[in-house]
Structure 1
Amino acid sequence: MGGKRYAVLLCAEDSDYVKKKYGGYFGVFVRMLAEEGETWLVYRVASGEFPEEDEIDSYDGFVITGSCNDAHGDDPWICRLITLLKKLDSMKKKVLGVCFGHQVMARSLGGKTGRAESGWDIGVTPIHLSAPAVKLFSSLQIPSVLSLIECHRDEVLEVPAKVEVLAWSDKTGIEMIRYGDHMMGVQGHPEYSKDILLNLIDRLLQRKDIVESYAEEVKANVEKLEPDREALKKLCISFLKGRL
C-alpha cells in the first residue's frame, strides 16, 4: 500500500514478436522503468481505452508510447489523447513521451509535427545534449553524446517558446524536449533492444514502407553500434520519478 502508481498510454498494436518475447510493448516499458513497490497499468488508448476522469489523479506519472499513426493526424483517439495531455499539463503530472508520444506531446503544447524532410531515420543514432541538458542531467553522470535507437519518419518540426529543446542529432533537429519540470519527450526509443528494432525493420520491409537496400543499410548500422541503454534508462527513470 502507498506505492507509486504509473500508467502506460499504449498508442500502438503489439507485434506478435514483441508480444511473445516481451509481453507486449507494455512489458518492454515496465522492464525499463518499473521499480520495486510500484504499480504499473496500461491503457490501450489507440483502441479507445482511456483512464476515467476520477482515476487520473491517482497516478504519479504517465508514459506515452510510439505508434504507427501520425501525431499530426486527427484520428478521434489522437484528439482525445491531446485533450488528456492538456489536462495532465494543467495538473503538472509527470509525463514521458517516446517517439509518437514525444511528437503528440509537442503538438498538445502548441508545437508543429509532420513528415521529416530527410525521410526515415532508422538505426542507432548519436544524439547531442544541449549545454542546459548537460547541466540538468549532471547528477546522472551520463555522456553528452548518447547513442539512441531510432525508428521514425515523422518529427517535431517546431516547438513553442515555452518548450526547451534538450537534444539534437545530425538528421533530426529536435531529439528531446522538456516543458517545465513535468513533461519530457524523446524522439528515439530508449526502451527498444536491438532485436526489437531488427524485427521492426523486417516488418517495415514486408509492408513496403522501406526498400530492401535501405533495410540492409540500416541493419548493418545496427550491428556496428551499441545504444546507451543504461544511461537512457537512468535518464528516463530520473525524470519520471522526480530525481533530477
Structure 2
Amino acid sequence: MMKLGILLCDDHYPDSIPTYGHYDDAFKRMFHGSVISHYETYRCFEQHYPAQPNECDIWIVTGSKWGVYDNEPWIRSVSEFVQRCHAQSRPLIGVCFGHQLIHHALGGEVTKSDKGWGMGVYPIDNLKNTQQGFTQPDAPNALNLIACHQDQVQEPAPAFSVIAGSDFCPIAITAKGQYVLTMQCHPEFTPDFLVQLVERLRDKAGNDTVDKAIESVRQFGGGDRDFVIRTLHQFVAQHSRVA
C-alpha cells in the first residue's frame, strides 16, 4: 500500500469546515478505495514542507486561491520541491493551482486568462492520446468536469502531452510519461461544495457567471467526476509497490 503526500496550498473557508472538513480531507475521500493507505499533509501555504521526495510514494499539489506567479516564498518552495520530485521520477499529481504550478515549475507558462472565469461544470474534449487511463474503453469523448479558476496554463512545460482541452481551456488535462498527471478541474469537489464556493465569488465573478455555474451543476451534477477519480486510482495503482 502507498503513502500519499498532500502538498496543501490552501484550506477551506472556516465556516465551511464543520460541513466539509479541511481541504486535505477532500483528497483523502477521493482516494478512498485506492491503493493509498496512508496520508501525510504538509500545509505548504503555512510554510510546512516535506524534507525529501522519498518521504511519500506519490505527491499531489492541491488547488489554491493564490496564483503561481504571486511573489510568495512558500510558492517558490513548493515549485522547488516539485522540481526535485520530477528529477527523481517521483509520481506527481496536480489539481487546478497544482496543475498550473507543476507546469510553471517545469518550464511552462501560466497567466490569468483573458477568457475570464472557468466556473461550474464545463465540457472538455478527451483527446485519448495517452496511456494515463483516458484511453480506456469506457472513456467519454467529452468530459464534463467541475472547475473554478481564472488562471490557465498557456504553454505546457516541455515534453508534456495534452490529454484533454477545449476552446475555453485548451490545456485542461496533461501528462508527462507515466509519472506526472495534471488537471485544471477539481475532481475532489462535490457539486454541493462547488455551489457554496461559487456563491462566495459573486462580487468577484459577477452574478451572471455564478448563476450560469450553478445552473450547470443543476444540469450535470458532478459530470464525469467519477470517471476522473477512477482514472486517478489507476494512476496511483500503477506506481504501487504491491505486485
TM-score (norm 1): 0.91
Amino acid at match of 1:212: N
- Please name the residue that 1:241 is paired with: 237
Q: 2:227 aligns with which of 231, 234, 240?
A: 231
Q: After superposition, where does 1:24-39 map in structure 2 within 5 Å?
A: 24-35=22-33, 38-39=37-38
User: Unaligned 5+ residue runs, structure 2?
Assistant: none
Matched, 1:185 2:182: yes
In 2, Cα distance between equivalents of 1:200 and 1:94: 30
Give CA deviations for 1:162-217 in whole Å, capped at 9, x if unaligned.
11111102311100111121111100111111111111111112xx2121232222
Partner SS for 2:200: helix
Change beyond 3 A, Cα 1:18–1:228: farther
- Please name the residue that 2:50 is paired with: 51
In 2, Cα distance between equivalents of 1:135 and 1:232: 11
In 2, Cα distance between equivalents of 1:37 and 1:63: 12
In 2, Cα distance between equivalents of 1:178 and 1:194: 26
- Please name the residue that 2:110 is paired with: 113
- Contact in 2 for aligned 1:9/1:65 (Cα 8 Å): yes
- Please name the residue that 1:216 is paired with: 211
What's the offset of the Cα at 1:72? 2.0
Give CA deviations for 1:212-235 in whole Å, capped at 9, x if unaligned.
232222212221113112101111
Q: 2:139 aligns with which of 131, 142, 160?
A: 142
Give CA deviations for 1:140-174 in whole Å, capped at 9, x if unaligned.
63212111001000000001441111110231110
Change beyond 3 A, Cα 1:236–1:135: closer
Q: Over aligned residue pairs, what C-alpha RMSD do you find?
A: 2.0
User: Unaligned 5+ residue runs, structure 1?
Assistant: none
In 1, Cα distance between equivalents of 2:151 and 2:70: 11
Determine what percentage of the aligned residue pairs are the same residue. 27
What's the offset of the Cα at 1:34? 3.3
Change beyond 3 A, Cα 1:146–1:19: same
- Please name the residue that 1:42 is paired with: 41
Amino acid at match of 2:148: C
- Please name the residue that 2:125 is paired with: 128
Amino acid at match of 1:50: Y
Amino acid at match of 2:176: Y
Partner SS for 1:62: strand
Partner SS for 1:143: coil
Aligned length: 238
- Please name the residue that 2:12 is paired with: 14
Partner SS for 1:184: strand
Give CA deviations for 1:99-149 in whole Å, capped at 9, x if unaligned.
000000011110000011101010101111114137853346321211100
What's the offset of the Cα at 1:58? 3.2
